[in-house]
Every structure is written in structure tokens, then in C-alpha cells.
């Protein structure tokens, strides 16, 4: 029987706030097939619990230790793959990161240290990124003779624009947290010791809002960004109307009129 510790840790750290930790610190939290499969199972668990209740409203994602969020996919494990095996491995990572991206609740990557290759792609699959001041982000795959494989060539241009993404992708350049914020890859940068607490503060603010409205807002942003403006605005109009069939609208507007805090 294996006595290996779980590589994915999930805990409720505040009411309505989950923390998912990639925990393989001796390997800088590198993503091999075992780690990816455990991540997939954990995301399935989160999604199932969300469907049952409004208890989980925000997911924070981070890596164990002070050196890395996720240093990348496990290069030693990939080194001897055939072309077919590599394609299958990419499909696995893409499917799992898509699960993360499609969770109905907001997801926040807390990037502490290295987030390279698959690690940067994992962060990009979250709705936004908070980085520690020692963070290093990038897609250095071209230096290994490969392309990004877990969605980096597609999500990075959507996040920072095609020209900047192309520069990072074809140069393999690693950037510091300050530059990541400057180009729109990271939302905020904090001292490493404060990163988790700042992430919790933001998650608390989100968790106080209407869960229905937050989920619809996330859905609209994801669905609308690749559609023409008229179609996207039509989606927004429909969602806006649906809000008025939900009791959270009555509570939210009632609380505003009565000058009290809404309770969702």
C-alpha cells in the first residue's frame, strides 16, 4: 500500500472560501500525471459540492512552500515520451485546466514563487492572479524544444494581448511579478508573507456578494469575450432579467433601500 501523501490538498479556510494547494514541494510542485489526476478528482469534488449548495463561493489556488506555485510540468516524466504519449499528456492537462476554468465560482491563483510552463498555464486557467513579490512567471517551453501544451498559447493572448503573449511565448522569457502586473497578467502584487491573507481578504469581499449574481457575471465574461458585442450584450440582458427571478435580487435591493447589509 502506498504511503505517499496526497499531492492536492483542499480545505475550507473561511466560510464560503476554499483553498486548494498543489503539494509536491520537493519537486517544486511540478505537474506529473499523478498530480494532474489528483487535481482532476479534487475539481470534480468541488464542482459536485457547488451544485448541492451555495457554501463554496470562492476558490483560492496556490502551491506548497515558498519557492514555487507550480514550477511547470514534470520535465523528467516528459523527457522520454513519444509524440503520441505527449499529445495524450497535453490532452489530459488541457481537460483538467478546462475543468478549473469552468467552475461556476470565481477562482484566484495565489502565485508564490515560480509559475513556469504548466504552472503559468494553471494560473491562467484561474479567473485572475495575485502574485507575491518573489513570483516569476513565464512560458519557457520553446527552450526545451516544445510548445506550451496546457493552453498557454491560447489563454495568454486572451489575458495580455497577442503581441505581448507572442513575445513571451517565442522568447521563453521569464518575468517578475511587477512586470506581470504591468502587462495585466497579475492583478496585484504583495509581499510573500502577506499573499495568502490578501487573497483571503479579496475572497471574503467576493463571498459577501450575491452568489447567483457572481456566478452569472463570471459566466457572462467567459461566454462574451469571443462573441461579437451585440450577441454578448444580448447574453447580458438575458442574465440581468434572470436575476429578478431569484430571491437574492429582492434581498440585495431590499437591503440597499433599508440601509442595511445584505445577507446572501
pLDDT in tens, 42-79: 999 999 988 777 789 999 999 999 899 999 988 988 99
- pLDDT confidence of residue 1: 47
Please give the Cα distance from 122 to 200 (Å, whole number): 19
Domain covering 211-257 assigned CATH 3.40.640.10 in the classification: no
Sequence ranges of the chain with CATH classification 3.90.226.10: 8-207
- pLDDT confidence of residue 3: 63
pLDDT (tens place) for every residue of the chain, 264 residues total: 456 789 999 999 999 999 999 999 999 999 999 999 999 999 999 999 887 777 899 999 999 998 999 999 889 889 999 999 999 999 999 999 999 999 999 999 999 999 999 999 999 999 999 999 999 999 999 999 999 999 999 999 999 999 999 999 999 999 999 999 999 999 999 999 999 999 999 999 999 999 999 999 999 999 999 899 999 999 999 999 999 999 999 999 999 999 999 999
148 CB burial (10 A radius; 0-12, 13-18, 19+): buried
- pLDDT confidence of residue 231: 97
**Quick one: cell of 136?**
516569476
Residue 115: which H helix or E strand, with range? strand 114-116
262 CB burial (10 A radius; 0-12, 13-18, 19+): middle
Q: Write down the pTM of the prediction.
A: 0.95
Please compute Rg for the chain using Cα positions: 19
Sequence ranges of the chain with CATH classification 1.10.12.10: 211-257
- pLDDT confidence of residue 21: 98
- Say which CATH architecture domain 8-207 belongs to: Alpha-Beta Complex (3.90)
Please give the Cα distance from 33 to 145 (Å, whole number): 20
- Whether residue 43 contacts residue 99, with contact meaning beta carbons closer than 8 Å, is answered with yes
- Kindly write down the DSSP assignment for every residue of 4-34, as one continuous string: PPPSEEEEEEETTEEEEEE--GGGTT-B-HH
Catalytic residues: 121, 141
Pinpoint the alpha helices (H) of 23-171.
33-52, 75-78, 83-101, 118-124, 152-160, 162-171
Amino acid at each position: 500500500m502506498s504511503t505517499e501523501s496526497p499531492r492536492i490538498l483542499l480545505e475550507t479556510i473561511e466560510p464560503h472560501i476554499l483553498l486548494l494547494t498543489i503539494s509536491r514541494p520537493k519537486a517544486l510542485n511540478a505537474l506529473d500525471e499523478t498530480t494532474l489526476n489528483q487535481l482532476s478528482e479534487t475539481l470534480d469534488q468541488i464542482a459536485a459540492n457547488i451544485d448541492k449548495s451555495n457554501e463554496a463561493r470562492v476558490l483560492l489556488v496556490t502551491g506548497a512552500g515558498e519557492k514555487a506555485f507550480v514550477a511547470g510540468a514534470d520535465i523528467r516524466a516528459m523527457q522520454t515520451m513519444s509524440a503520441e504519449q505527449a499529445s495524450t499528456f497535453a490532452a489530459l492537462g488541457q481537460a483538467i485546466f478546462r475543468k478549473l476554468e469552468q467552475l461556476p465560482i470565481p477562482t484566484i491563483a495565489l502565485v508564490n514563487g515560480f509559475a513556469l510552463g504548466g504552472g503559468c498555464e494553471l494560473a491562467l486557467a484561474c479567473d485572475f492572479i495575485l502574485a507575491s513579490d518573489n513570483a516569476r512567471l513565464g512560458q519557457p517551453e520553446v527552450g526545451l524544444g516544445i510548445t506550451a501544451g496546457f493552453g498557454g498559447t491560447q489563454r495568454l493572448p486572451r489575458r495580455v494581448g497577442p503581441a505581448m503573449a507572442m513575445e513571451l511565448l517565442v522568447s521563453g522569457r521569464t518575468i517578475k511579478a511587477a512586470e506581470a502586473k504591468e502587462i495585466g497578467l497579475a492583478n496585484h502584487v504583495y509581499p510573500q508573507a502577506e499573499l495568502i491573507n490578501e487573497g483571503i481578504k479579496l475572497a471574503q469581499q467576493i463571498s459577501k456578494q450575491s452568489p447567483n449574481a457572481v456566478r452569472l457575471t463570471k459566466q457572462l465574461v467567459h461566454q462574451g469575450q469571443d462573441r461579437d458585442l451585440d450577441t454578448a450584450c444580448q447574453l447580458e440582458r438575458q442574465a440581468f432579467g434572470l436575476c429578478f427571478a431569484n430571491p437574492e435580487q429582492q434581498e440585495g435591493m431590499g437591503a440597499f433601500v433599508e440601509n442595511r447589509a445584505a445577507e446572501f
